[in-house]
Structure 1
Amino acid sequence: MMRDSEQCLHEGVASKRRKVPGNSLCNLPMDILSTILSLLPINDAIRTSVLSRKWKYIWCSHTNLTFNKGTMRKTYFKPSTGYYGFIRDKEFVTKVDTVLRQHSRMGVERMEIKFRLHSEHADHIDRWVNFAISSKTKKFVINLACVSKSMLFRAGGHWISRKEPYNLPSELFSPDNSPYLQCLELRTVSLQLPSDFKGFLNLKSLTLVDVRIIDDDVQRMLSKCNLLEFFEISYCIMVTSIRVLHPLDRLKHLVVGICRKLQDIVLNCSPTTLEYTGAMIPLILASTSRLTNISVVLTTYQSALSYISTGLPCTSPRLETLTLLCHERERTIVPRGPFKFTYLQNLRLELVISSYESRKTDVLAGA
């Protein structure tokens, strides 16, 4: 009798528990579930499709599409190496095509393609670019070298490949894409602007690394992006001059790195941050009154202390941080002129001393 009453009590409690509404993820609205999945890498988000019928298509509204050898890796694991299987070009292309074919093409915030591809994959990459356009992607990244900038530096400023780089289609620069694109990052591609290029109305960040682009197209891009706040151009071997007389009033951060043929920089802007790596060249800005951070790495032999007083903009009243790396062969001589950076708080001065002759005096003698 006692056992029967205990069993009834247990069944009653279990019944009540079953009736209590659960607080699982399944009870959340679809838009919230989609937002949660967008915080996961695309490959992990796709795996949730096997959980239930409700979860089957939630990932199709993923807002952050990052395609690289990590997110598109093979599913099997090699215990001997501790790494996932190597993914080849053909498999990578097939996986990306499959994902984009099932995606809803709505609400894409960021799309990144990072894999070593070339012009022979142009048909596939063209489709991916058109997907980014049709889905109104805000941040678009194409990195077809899959190497870091430090590797480019060691390679002499250009990643050498036996194959022709992929040429971006003119559709990417069409007026239809202008209102949505806010960030564009291009690496190891070839770019030629169409004659009717009208600019990107809302572009705030532009990065060109190891891009085959001519001076005129650089000028046209900058002069027709009035909201640009960040601009980087590095390892572009065809660029000889960066001259833009059109005012770039919003530009805050300027990064120029090892463009081997670059001879001068003339920009109508007043940035707050300046980073330059390369040979000693004329650098003319409309104003340096807002500069608070300067980082310069000179790849040619130059007196560091002399460069501070003569090469750097001396009218930078707000400069707080200065980083300077120079290569020198002769004795460092302190300039006699006054030091004009009155608000400077942090100074990092790195001198690389090299000489083919044996020295008889200290390199800082007389300093």
Structure 2
Amino acid sequence: MVIGYGSPVSDRKRKFSPGSPHIASAKRSKKPGLRIGGLPTDILSSITSKLPLKEAARTSILSSQWRRIWLCRPNIDLSYHTLLSQSDDARRWTTRRNILNRLKFIKSVGEVLQQHEGLGTESIRISFHLCDRYADHMDKWMKYTIASKAKGLILELLSVNFGPTIVRYNFPLQMLDTKKNSSLRRLRLHFVSLCPPADFRGFQNLTRLCLQDVSITNEDLQRLLSEGNHLECFRIACCETLTSLKIPHYVNRLKFLLVLSCPLLQDISLDCDVPALHYRGPLIPLKLAAPSKLTNLWIMLPSCHSALGFISSELPTTIRHLEKLRLCCSQFEGTDVVSRLRSFLSLRQLILDLTITDLPRRTIDILDLGYLLEAAPFMEKLELHMVMRCLHKRYRPEDGELRSLPSCPHSHLSLVTITGFIGEKDQLELALHILRNAMVLKALKIYPRPCAVDSVPARLRPEERIADGRSVALEFLAKSDHRNVVEVIAAFNLPCLIESTFGYR
């Protein structure tokens, strides 16, 4: 029989000398290597904590050593995404499927919390469609949170798949008494009811509190913000029962206040010196302590007759230290407020998000925004984000000479960003005014494309507007640039300015 080269028989008969490299490699392969199971338990716990809850739980079947390692997780995320396989179809569940999945979710949460070590817990998040009917189970989960000395709790009881008569879970505020819990620092509640007991002494240890779609009265909210609390960040959103918001003076550690979309809210009164305020909703009275130490202000209004009118008339006169201002609104008409425009000597950064919707005839003069250079003589950064929901007319020399405002040399403005520049005459006049008067200007960035292209109806031909804006900027603005600071940018991806504006997460 002929045996070919490389056959199993020939390999068995082939002999190697003791010094053969094949023998050496075989010896090296027998050396013990580093296995993941040989790592210390705390390192293994850190590794499994980076895995999703389902995948981390699967490691328990590897060996007896791995059985409880996955339970030592600093952040426990319990939601339909992590516990139920039907998460992708959560919004399509039938009534029977809703009940079965709630029961399955409650059982899974109980099993996880029962097995969890409870040591070193940083935060617990529970997110599912639950109501007061399951209060007994949720009370047990809250007791576990207190016993585990977790620093953060997120309870998101989503209102989806419930009828209008559903009773919300009454969150047990008495559990947060200082004597019972000294560890919880961050609390976020969604779709619950808050009714503080008469002897409730407030959040003595919390530094961050977020209430979203929470049922609470004005009086109960005042009781929550009792004297001696340590709140630094307070966020309240979509609370439909709140009609008045008053932050007392003894909440003196508050650094950030956010109020979003509370439809019945009629006024905001701040007796404390909060440095940052973000408000979204209709125009309501804003009362501040005198003098106010507010430095960062972000106002989002559904509509506004005039941005300059709001700045000159609606901002409280007690704001003397305002450094950053962002105003988002839709303008419907122009108004003569130039003579009443106040001075903001502390303002360093101004952001205006304006939607111009004065159809069928333009009455808003964008050139009036040039008076802001006089009103804020120490401003360093200016951003104008414009969406022109009106009839468009690209500027041409036959449309008349370009207007100019009185000379106003500005010695601090160094960075200007204009988006939604579509080549309108008053837009060009404003850009030229800034270019001529900003003495230390380092960059004037022109973006013909608006921040939100989808907000411009297709019938207004947004792509044609973008092309007109680019050609006007290159033809008239760039030619007047003798310092090489103008930059016309066709496309962009502006970052979200929420955190950069307020500097607080």
TM-score, with normalisation over the residues of structure 1? 0.82
**Contact between 1:321 and 1:344, CA under 8 Å: does it hold in 2?**
yes
For 1:193-208, list aligned pairs within 5 A.
193-208=196-211
1:25 to 2:29 alignment:
no
Describe the SS at the equivalent of 1:247.
coil
For 1:51-62, list aligned pairs within 5 A.
51-62=62-73
**Contact between 1:206 and 1:228, CA under 8 Å: does it hold in 2?**
yes
Q: Which residue of 1 aligns with 2:79?
A: 68
Distance 1:318 1:23 in 2: 60
Describe the SS at the equivalent of 1:70.
helix
Distance 2:128 2:305 in 1: 38
Distance 2:159 2:50 in 1: 23
For 1:21-100, list aligned pairs within 5 A.
22-74=33-85, 88-100=101-113
Which residue type is aligned with residue 364 of structure 1?
D
Distance 1:263 1:89 in 2: 38
Q: 1:211 aligns with which of 210, 214, 226?
A: 214
Distance 2:274 2:248 in 1: 15
> Displacement, 1:9?
7.8
Distance 1:4 1:112 in 2: 63
Describe the SS at the equivalent of 1:248.
coil
Q: Which residue of 1 aligns with 2:418?
A: none
**Contact between 2:227 and 2:251, CA under 8 Å: does it hold in 1?**
no
1:273 to 2:286 alignment:
no
Q: 1:347 aligns with which of 344, 348, 351?
A: 351
Deviations, residues 275-323 of structure 1 (Å, cap 9, x unaligned)? 1112222222336754343211224655332111222234545534322
Q: Which residue of 1 aligns with 2:253?
A: 250
Q: Which residue of 1 aligns with 2:192?
A: 189
Q: Which residue of 2 aligns with 1:119?
A: 132
Distance 2:23 2:180 in 1: 62
> Displacement, 1:340?
2.4
Q: Which of 341-350 and 127-136 deviates more?
A: 341-350
Indicate how the Cα distance of structure 1 residues 115 and 225 shifts in structure 2: closer, same or farther if over 3 A, else same. Answer: farther
> Displacement, 1:205?
0.5
Distance 1:350 1:76 in 2: 39
Q: Which residue of 2 aligns with 1:3?
A: 15
Aligned residues: 346
Q: Which residue of 1 aligns with 2:329?
A: 326
Which residue type is aligned with residue 354 of structure 2?
E
Indicate how the Cα distance of structure 1 residues 101 and 2 shifts in structure 2: closer, same or farther if over 3 A, else same. Answer: same
> Displacement, 1:143?
0.9
> Displacement, 1:56?
0.9
Q: Which residue of 1 aligns with 2:223?
A: 220
> Displacement, 1:8?
9.4
Which residue type is aligned with residue 363 of structure 1?
I
**Contact between 1:203 and 1:228, CA under 8 Å: does it hold in 2?**
yes
Distance 1:198 1:11 in 2: 77
> Displacement, 1:258?
2.0
Describe the SS at the equivalent of 1:164.
coil
Which residue type is aligned with residue 142 of structure 2?
V
Indicate how the Cα distance of structure 1 residues 10 and 53 shifts in structure 2: closer, same or farther if over 3 A, else same. Answer: farther
Gaps of 5+ in 2: 1-12, 90-96, 369-505
Distance 1:76 1:340 in 2: 54
Distance 1:252 1:126 in 2: 31
Q: Which residue of 2 aligns with 1:295?
A: 298
Q: Which residue of 1 aligns with 2:365?
A: 364
Q: Which residue of 1 aligns with 2:477?
A: none
Higher relative contact order (CA 8 A, sep 6+): 1
Q: 2:232 aligns with which of 224, 229, 232?
A: 229
Indicate how the Cα distance of structure 1 residues 101 and 288 shifts in structure 2: closer, same or farther if over 3 A, else same. Answer: farther
Q: 2:169 aligns with which of 166, 170, 185?
A: 166
Describe the SS at the equivalent of 2:254.
coil
TM-align CA RMSD:
3.3
**Contact between 1:141 and 1:185, CA under 8 Å: does it hold in 2?**
yes
Q: Which of 325-334 and 206-215 deviates more?
A: 325-334
**Contact between 2:188 and 2:210, CA under 8 Å: does it hold in 1?**
yes
Question: Share of identical aligned residues, percent?
Answer: 37
Describe the SS at the equivalent of 2:224.
helix
Describe the SS at the equivalent of 2:271.
strand
**Contact between 1:50 and 1:56, CA under 8 Å: does it hold in 2?**
yes
Identify the structure with the greater helix proportion.
Answer: 2
Describe the SS at the equivalent of 1:3.
coil
Which residue type is aligned with residue 106 of structure 2?
V
Q: Which residue of 1 aligns with 2:316?
A: 313
Distance 2:367 2:38 in 1: 76
Indicate how the Cα distance of structure 1 residues 232 and 271 shifts in structure 2: closer, same or farther if over 3 A, else same. Answer: same
Distance 2:281 2:111 in 1: 43
Describe the SS at the equivalent of 1:132.
helix
Which residue type is aligned with residue 130 of structure 1?
K
Gaps of 5+ in 1: 79-84, 148-158
Q: Which residue of 1 aligns with 2:154?
A: 141
**Contact between 1:178 and 1:201, CA under 8 Å: does it hold in 2?**
no
> Displacement, 1:137?
1.3
Q: Which of 216-225 and 202-211 deviates more?
A: 216-225
